[in-house]
Amino acid sequence: MSKTSLSDTSSGLAASPATPASGDDGADGTITAAPLRDARPAVAALDAARVALLDWQAQAQQQLAETQTRLAQTQTHLAQTETQLEQSQSEARAAGLALDALRVEFAGLTEERNKIAGERDRVASERDRVAQERDEVAKDRDRWCEECNKSLEEGRRLAAQLAEQSKRNENLNSELMELYRDLKAEDLPTLILRIGMKLTGAENGLYVDDSGGVTLAAIGLDALPETVTNALYEFTREAANAEEPVVRNDSENLPDGSNLVNLAALPVAYHGDLRGVLLVANKREGPFTEDDTELLLSIGDHAGVALENHRLHCELAESYLSTIAVLADAIEAKDPYTRGHCESVAAVAMDVAQRLGWEAKALDNIRYAALLHDIGKIGIPDGILLKPGRLLPEEYQVIQRHAAIGSDLVKRVPSLEPIASIILHHHERVDGSGYPDGQSGEEIDLASRIIGVVDAFDAMTTPRPYRDPVSPTEALEELRRCAGSQFDLVVVDTVAVVLADRGQV
């Protein structure tokens, strides 16, 4: 029932009392109050029913709204559910595809597994083969290790031999360097013999000339009987004739009663010319080996060169000394009063230098400087040099030039250049009052100081045109008086000892 219908019904009911009813009308045609009172409860009930109906309508509308809301929510939920369902279906389809892929992959894995199984079987077979090869390799390794150990032992043995050979070579080089350094040795054959004995470990040795009959050096053979010595000479002659080493390591092949256990002899030659025979004997540490023979041959080769160099050096030194002697003679030829003066000064100066412990080269220098210390007098006029009386100051200044002149002369000869400064300063004085440079003390070369002292002593003890000589004792006393001012004190004391040893004072 609609709201409009109910209102219309109520209006109709309310309007009913105004309508005149049959039998109820008054005499004047009006409605009486009694019927109206009878209709009010019905109207009130009707109103109550209308209100209840309105309440119900409102509740129904509210329930309808709630139902519609729930319906909307349900529809929304349904839409969400449908969406989720679609998603689930999509996921199910994806899962189906993934499952299909897994099936394919599984099939592939199954195939791969089968392949792996086949490969595993192949690997197992290969492993067995490798194990077999490994066993073979292990056997080869053991064999190789054994060979390596043998090679290592051989290498160590060769290394020891090489080290020993290297040491022998070092010793040989060292000894040969000494041999070449000592070319001026007066007893070079003995030096060669000692080198051969030292490097081979021999206790005795003999060095003879090229004829095999003249002994140039012998060590440890003095006590041997003449018969043994003659036998040793036979071995040297055998080596000389054979032109190769002769080795005897069997004592039965050596002279009886010689106390020799072994020996080795080899010729010493230079460019094919025999220069002697070297024999070494009594090597106590075993026999003479092939290495010893090679070593002796090397010594022989170098000894031949050293002997030739020694001969040439001696000839050169003699020629050199002869040249210097000629120059010294030229000085003395100009001044007869100084004849023998240079040789005398050189002899004493050499002895002084030797007592002071000088080396050979320095000894040669002082010897040559002493022989030529007055060579500058060649440039001094005879009228001044041979003047019988005392010199005038200006004449003495001319005489003083001889030191510088002599120095300039020897500088022109390269081999004499080292002695130029010795000649230049042999008239310097330790107090600085000498000439030409006024040097003093240690500034003056020691060789010049030695020659200055010896020169003064010889000048005082030999006659001069302007004075008579003094005795050696007086001359020595004068040297000592002037020591510390004109002369070096140590040099004067050393000269005094040398002159005493020579018997000159």
Instruction: Please give the pLDDT value at position 338.
Output: 64
401 and 488 co-located in one domain: yes
Give yes or no for a contact between 341 and 384, defined as CB atoms under 8 angstroms apart: no
358 and 469 co-located in one domain: yes
351 and 224 co-located in one domain: no
241 and 277 co-located in one domain: yes
Helix, strand, coil percentages for the chain (3-state, nearest 5): 70, 10, 20
Q: Is 410 a member of any domain?
A: yes
- Looking at residue 477, which CATH number applies to its domain? 1.10.3210.10
361 and 488 co-located in one domain: yes
300 and 345 co-located in one domain: no
Instruction: Please give the pLDDT value at position 335.
Output: 66
Q: What CA dihedral angle connects 101, 106, 111 and 117, to 10 degrees? A: 150
Q: What CA dihedral angle connects 270, 274, 275 and 279, to 10 degrees? A: 110
Query: What does the alpha-carbon distance between residue 494 and residue 239 come to, in Å, rounded to a whole number?
Result: 51
The pLDDT tens digits of the residues spanning 167-222 come to 655 655 555 555 445 444 456 788 878 888 887 888 888 888 877 667 888 887 77
209 and 258 co-located in one domain: yes
The pLDDT tens digits of the residues spanning 291-305 come to 887 777 777 777 777
Q: Is 348 a member of any domain?
A: yes
Q: Which residues of the chain have pLDDT under 70?
A: 1-37, 158-159, 161-187, 212-213, 223-224, 255-258, 272, 317, 320-321, 325, 327-339
Query: What does the alpha-carbon distance between residue 345 and residue 370 come to, in Å, rounded to a whole number?
Result: 6
CB-hemisphere CA count at 13 Å for 128? Answer: 5
Give yes or no for a contact between 201 and 284, defined as CB atoms under 8 angstroms apart: yes
Q: Is 370 a member of any domain?
A: yes
- Looking at residue 235, which CATH number applies to its domain? 3.30.450.40
Range of the domain at 402: 335-501
Instruction: Please give the pLDDT value at position 336.
Output: 63
Q: Is 325 a member of any domain?
A: no
284 and 383 co-located in one domain: no
255 and 191 co-located in one domain: yes
Q: Domains in the chain: how many in total?
A: 2
